[in-house]
Chain A
Amino acid sequence: MTLPSLSLLSQSILSGVFIGGMYSLIGLGLGLSWGLLRQINLAHFGFVFLSAYLSYHMATVWGLDPLLTLVLLPPLFFAIGVAMQWLLSRFLISPFNSLLVTFGFTVMIESLIQYVWTADFRRLQSGYGEEKFVLGPLYIPVPELLTLVLAVLFAFAIWAAMRFTDLGKAMRAMAEDGPIAAAFGINQRALSLILSGTCVALASIAGICFALTFTLTPTQIFSWVGVVFAVVMLGGLGSALGPLVAGVIVGVSEAVAMAVFAPSWAPLVSFSLLILMLLFRPGKV
């Protein structure tokens, strides 16, 4: 093993921070849904990709600026999230069954994407994809930077909302003890709908960033499940800042493993970290 040069190591760490930003942006909505709604929403990954494809379509076919889709798509996905929550609560789906039901939704979304956009590779070509900053030996691509900025922004915004607003406090109370919260006049049903809508809207934002950064193919949906689950569990269910920190730690660890050892070791990193956390700090996962 030879030690990497400083520029190689710093560029790799930067790459890890950026991919960590993507992990945390995808994981944010998933973790909130899991921790506060008690739903393991596998369809979250499907919504990320559906949003990515819609963003691709709007930019490529309709000629819209990809960043404009950041305004257009989240409200649509908020409505989808509300509808999904209504459906799940209407049929009293238990947390475990939510895993199965939302897996079904994911398969349906994947089929829908294949039907509309086929299984071929799709790439959102935009001016942003070419843009980058150069800081000394470091290259900072704009789409990745945007993803990281949005991940940080939304993590802190949701943390602040949960901590300082009545709505956020009510949501935390609902997650802590639903019946008692209801006894204090908290409308669980309305809060659940809002929270679910917010989580799916966050998925749509992650999807737009995904389309700006990666080439799309429907079957990629499942290749992100493992690492994002690990990030969410490491960050703590229902936590807003946890996935951000965990995402960056996992991303940087993977990148350093690739730079110093071998890229084939990278997939071991996230689950090794998770196992270490379970061994040494079991109460935190």
Chain B
Amino acid sequence: MRSLKRVAAWAAIAAGSLGLMAAGPAPAQSSDPIRIGSTLALTGPLSATALVHKLVGDIYVDDLNSRGGLLGRKVEWLVKDDQSKPDVARTLYEQLVTSDKVDLLMGPYATGAILSAMGVAQRYNKMLIHHTFGIPSLAKYDKHFPAWSVGPKPEETVPTTLFDALAASPKPPKTMALVTSKFPSVHFMSLGAREVAKKRGIQEVLFLEWEFGNRDFGPIAARIKDANPDFVFVGNIGLEGNMLLEAMKKIDYVPPLHFHLYPAPGPMVAAPEGKNALSVTIFEEHPPYTDNPVAAKFVTEFNKRAKAAGFPYTKVEVQAAASFTAWQLLEAAVTATKSFDDAKLADWLKKNQVPTIQGVLRFDRGNNYGDDLMRIKQVQDGNWVTIWPKEVAAPGATLKM
């Protein structure tokens, strides 16, 4: 039965996403476009990442319209600027539903804004597919669908994948320093990693927490150096990982193995001290991900348009892949149900598996989450490459120490 559903889903995707590869004239369209509404943090502290989501949305919608749109109707994407503020996101989603009367919703970027949008979607019974929501246990609405496939308990499954990768290395770590930001979607993951490490018998030689916005990483670096661990788990977001590595470099300390939960991908790969840094991913620009022709074409288009837009980091990684996946989910549901009805779309997504560029997604486990598709990547020769599990690792890539 499951395989039948999967075949049906593949057929839906083939009619949709794989059309990226199709050439030829677009079919005739009705006069009324389908309006999809969302907000993004186009200004404010989250704008650097949100602009990636904007670019991906533009790429997808352009391509979708070149293929005839959704069910023969042109797609119009209405994006409002939530200024990186969850309260503004909530107001704007209200506007999108009540005033702009959009047909469908697409999620904003960042956990706080997604949670706000989810509340509005729930009030109006709208389906909400979203990109990168960090705390699955908070997502209670039954018509929400996460495109970032971290599973219902990432605090257990993600560290398990990480420690599996480390255990398979030539010299598995015996001691660990776990240092973490208290940023909400980071902190619970770090605490989960602490528990997983304990169960695996890895000795914790240092545990430190800092408030988000910490300015001086010198004393933290000095304490890690003093503890002399085999492995450093850094529960960080954005630039914190770079700041810590810079502080370590100033005291001539290079950690033997270091993992960063949510680093800013560009700065980490560009910094000399980011060498061999480990992190998590759902997609990187190498086979087997790019063996998928949809993914390969998306990568080419994203690289080109990101460069033209002046992005400092022009490669497709977690954020761009999650964003693309969100649009794939929406298209697959509409194509399969031949409907724009939120209830029908949500019902279909709950019952079916959807092939995407990051893998096959399903939503039949806790809080509409499915499998944890997070993999482990490492900075090698100035690039992020997936190193674990082996089946998705870049050709020939293994953990470097």
Contact = CB atoms under 8 A, between A and B. Distances in A.
Interface of A: 4-5, 7-8, 11-12, 14-16, 18-19, 111, 114, 118-121, 123, 132, 134, 139, 141, 144, 214-215, 217, 219, 223-224, 227, 251, 254-255, 258-259, 262-264, 266-267
B48 A15 contact: no
B340 interface: no
Contacts of A215: 239, 242-243, 246, 267
B101 interface: no
B215 A223 contact: yes
Contacts of A254: 216
Contacts of B51: 118-119
B43 interface: yes
Interface residues of B, number: 41
9 contacts: A8-B226, A119-B43, A121-B239, A121-B267, A123-B267, A123-B270, A217-B45, A223-B213, A263-B210
Nearest to A218: B45
Contacts of B223: 4, 8, 12, 258-259
A240 to B, nearest CB: 24
Given A139-B250, A258-B216, A264 B211 contact: yes
Contacts of A120: 48, 266, 311-312
Given A217-B239, A263-B209, A266-B211, A15 B218 contact: yes
A7 B226 contact: yes
B214 A263 contact: yes
B168 to A, nearest CB: 32
A255 B222 CA distance: 10
B182 interface: yes
B210 A12 contact: no
A15 B243 CA distance: 14
A253 B368 CA distance: 47
A262 B208 CA distance: 6
Given A19-B215, A144-B250, 8 more contacts: A8-B223, A15-B247, A19-B218, A121-B239, A123-B242, A123-B267, A263-B208, A264-B182
A132 B251 CA distance: 9
B218 A255 contact: yes
B215 A141 contact: no
B71 interface: no
Interface string B41-53: 0011111100100
